[in-house]
Structure 1
Amino acid sequence: MSGTLGIAVIGTGKMGADHVRRLDRRTAGARVAAVADLDGDRVKEIAAGLDGCAAFTDPHAALAAPGVEAVLVASPGPAHEEILLAAIERGLPVLCEKPLTPEPDGALRVMEAEQRAGRRLVQVGFMRRHDAEYEQLKALLATGALGRPLFLHCRHRNASSPSFFTSDMLISDSVVHEVDAARWLLDQEVTAVTVLSPAPSGAAPEGLRDPQLVLLETSGGAIVDVEIFVNCGFGYQVVCEAVGESGSARIGDGQSVLVQSAGRWGGEIAQDYTVRFADAYDRQVRRWVDATRRGRVTGPSAWDGYAAAAVSEAGLAARRTGTRTPVVLAPRPELYA
């Protein structure tokens, strides 16, 4: 494509509205041609601020709108499969926020649709792969300078959780990021999951098992431990330390401006993911737009979305039963080799 890429944004909640602003103000070669959301007033208000943007409450109508050449899906996870299948049928490239689908069976159906189409059309929005620190750690591990990876120690903390957050969502909506990051950093699949839960924090809402400790075993013999704590109270924090046979490296310590004054020192802690990973989201969308305009699909594939969903499913079973649970993956299709 030589001109500006017309994009339909499906879902205009917090994440979708952030992507609309990103496409409109910070992404060259793209424009928002249509927006869709069940909230008719909100979607009309968003479209009114964009030249030539149409507003819809039906996502299928947005896909069919004039000038739409690609789709960014930011609606709730349970709605993803239907719109993904419709976009693939139309031959439209898609950037889909995680999860690809909440369950692995839905992700398998998305992969089957791509295989019938004969080409990849879907990129999954695992934005940590586009974060500068994660990219540096990936490159370092690839050199072998740390030796064979033995452990990834991960911390994933939020200041507070939304009112609708459930104990399962700590794994399916939060730890899923560490699942994909571990698979990508190590170039290994996750083979088993164990979940341990201490007594809930006093800051956790009634009935929420927060925090949790998730242990992932990998096909290469590494162990990944993830502390997920979504009501830590002080801010948003994502840390990952890779420990190899001959060294270690850590990212995510938040090296912002360090202030020393009045006998104290300190810095700022980001309060949510849109701040901590703002640059990663920008790079992700820009890279997707650039690749799409060249007729290519890069980044995390539908297979990566399926693998993450399969690990999440095993993690949920492990949390409920208190036992180590194997991850069962379907054979990997050639399209995703």
Structure 2
Amino acid sequence: MSVRIGIIGPGGIGRAHIARISDRLARGRVVAVTDIDPAHAQRVAEPIGAAVYPDDAALIDADDVDAVMVTSFGPAHEGSVVRAIEAGKPVFCEKPLAPTAAECLRIMDAEQRGGRRLVQVGFMRRYDAGYREIKATLERGELGAALIVHNRHHNPHSPQTYLEGMSITDTAIHEIDVMRFLLGEEIVSARVDKPKRTTSAFAHLSDPLMLVLRTASDVLIDVEIFVNNTYGYDIKCEVVGERGLIALSDQNATVRTSPTGRGNRIAADYNERFEAAFETELQEWIDSVQAGEIVGPTSWDGYAAAVVCDAGVRSLRAHGSQEFTVDLIEKPAFYA
């Protein structure tokens, strides 16, 4: 029997998820759609035969919706996620869980009052084969302790609506979460350095940026954020250990040879680079809903990433390169 899924706010990532569920994944079916723009909801729902609901509350309460996916604008996440929790329905929420730590705490409170885990956060890097291989290598102890991690997160272009701070909260949040995942510990401080600014960005945006993080055991992490590199979607991760290093391989196996040289093609966007990770993520979520036990990234993971983002944004907006402490609450036993 298929898991009947309702989609709230199907923008670009939501429509991509619908295509994955409808065309390539097993045991899941999108049966309901709602959006702030009813005409858009109708356009999305019609090709897949899904029902259109006037708002998130009506969709969540529908008897034929078993589980909910929230793919709306980040500031709208809290209300939809809490409604799904209160209805007792599993909910997959795209990152961020919510834009601020305070909102994430309210989601966690609702989930704990309900007495069982219902929320999975869309941190898809955890499902990428390369990152999973790095984690397995670290856990086997082959490299000794991790000491330094270098990351790159480049996008070809950002729109004018991409505002100051989103380099941290919308882009580097992926590295923030996957560093916690790989290293198995919390991040305790964040600092942002501003290199020379590119002429390719809109005037309101500082780009590129260097985000420098430190973990509880003193692992130093850098994230090179560049959202207007003009050449492609370029992701790198290299972990330096006591006895060696391990890094993500090139983005795909396609090699081109031309008069200017020989090299690998760069992915155009996150869907191309992480398509396999997205499919694994959603299939594992559907299977966990069927099994009655959600096992993916938790509300705590969403909250912890949000607190690091808060510290990073504070550093970005401060004068000079200031380091800010990441102030997490004590982790509830519910999420242990």
Q: Which TM bucket (shorter chain)?
A: over 0.9
Q: Tell me, what secondary structure is at the counterpart of 1:201?
A: coil
- Equivalent residue number for residue 274 of structure 1: 271
Q: For residue 25 of structure 1, what is the aligned residue in structure 2? A: 23
* Superposition pairs of residues 280-299 of structure 1, within 5 angstroms: 280-299=277-296
1:42 corresponds to 2:35: no
Q: Do the aligned partners of 2:250 and 2:264 also contact (CA within 8 Å) in 1?
A: no
Q: Which amino acid aligns with 1:47?
A: A
Range with bigger deviation, 177-186 or 60-69: 60-69
* SS of 2:149 mapped into structure 1: strand
Residue 165 in 1 paired to residue 162 in 2? yes
Partner residue in 2 for 1:197: 194
Percent same amino acid among aligned pairs?
A: 43
Q: How far off is 1:56 after superposition?
A: 2.4
- The residue that corresponds to 1:329 in the other structure is 328
CA contact (8 A) 1:235 1:270 kept: yes
Q: What does 1:3-14 align with in structure 2 at a 5 Å threshold?
A: 3-14=1-12
- Check whether the contact 2:33–2:52 (CA below 8 A) recurs between aligned residues: yes
Q: TM-score, normalised to structure 2's length?
A: 0.97
Report what 1:264 is aligned to: 261
Q: Partners of 2:332 and 2:161 in 1: how far apart?
A: 36
Kindly tell me: are residues 40 and 266 of structure 1, through their superposed partners in 2, closer, same or farther at Cα, counting changes over 3 Å?
A: same
Instruction: Return closer, same or farther for 1:325/1:245 CA change in 2, 3 Å cut-off.
Output: same
Decide which moves more: 175-184 or 53-62. 53-62
**Alpha-carbon shift at residue 261 of structure 1 (Å):** 5.0
Q: What secondary structure is seen at the aligned counterpart in 1 of 2:297?
A: coil
**Aligned AA for 2:34?**
A
CA contact (8 A) 1:214 1:225 kept: yes
Once the two structures are superposed, what CA deviation does each residue of 1:219-272 show, in whole Å capped at 9, x if it has no partner? 011000000000001000110000001100110522422133557323321111
Amino acid at match of 1:33: V
Match of 1:211 in 2: 208
- SS at 1:234's partner residue? coil
CA distance in 2, matches of 1:158, 1:116: 40
Give unpaired runs (5+ residues) of structure 2.
none
Q: Is the 8 A contact 1:259 1:266 kept in 2?
A: yes
Q: Deviations over 1:123-145 (max 9, x none)?
A: 00000000011111110111111
- The aligned runs of 1:1-337 (5 Å cut-off) are 3-51=1-49, 53-260=50-257, 264-321=261-318, 322=320, 323-337=322-336
Shifted more, 109-118 versus 53-62: the winner is 53-62
2:29 and 2:260 mapped to 1: Cα distance?
A: 50
Shift of 1:64: 1.8
Cα contact 1:200–1:211 (8 A) shared by 2: yes
Distance in 2 between the 1:115 and 1:327 partners?
23
Give how far 1:163 is off: 1.9
CA RMSD of aligned residues (A): 1.1
Give every structure 1 segment of 4 or more consecutive aligned residues whose post-TM-superposition deviation is greater than 6 Å.
none
- In structure 2, what is the Cα distance between the partners aligned to 1:269 and 1:291? 33
Q: 1:117 to 1:263 in 2, by over 3 A?
A: closer
Q: How far apart are residue 283 of structure 1 and its match?
A: 0.5
The answer as to whether partners of 2:5 and 2:68 remain within 8 angstroms in 1 is yes
In structure 2, what is the Cα distance between the partners aligned to 1:281 and 1:67? 25
Q: Is residue 256–residue 265 contact of structure 2 (8 Å, CA) maintained in 1?
A: no
SS in 1 for 2:120: strand
Return the offset for 1:195. Answer: 0.4
TM-score by length of 1: 0.97
Structure 1 residues 262, 194: closer, same or farther in 2, change over 3 A? closer
Partner Cα separation in structure 1 for residue 259 and residue 231 of structure 2: 22
Kept in 1: contact 2:6–2:68 (CA 8 A) = yes
Unmatched runs of 5 consecutive residues or more in structure 1 = none
SS at the partner of 2:156? coil
Query: How far is the alpha carbon of 1:13 from its aligned partner?
Result: 0.8
SS class of match (2:48):
coil
Distance 2:152 2:286 in 1: 31
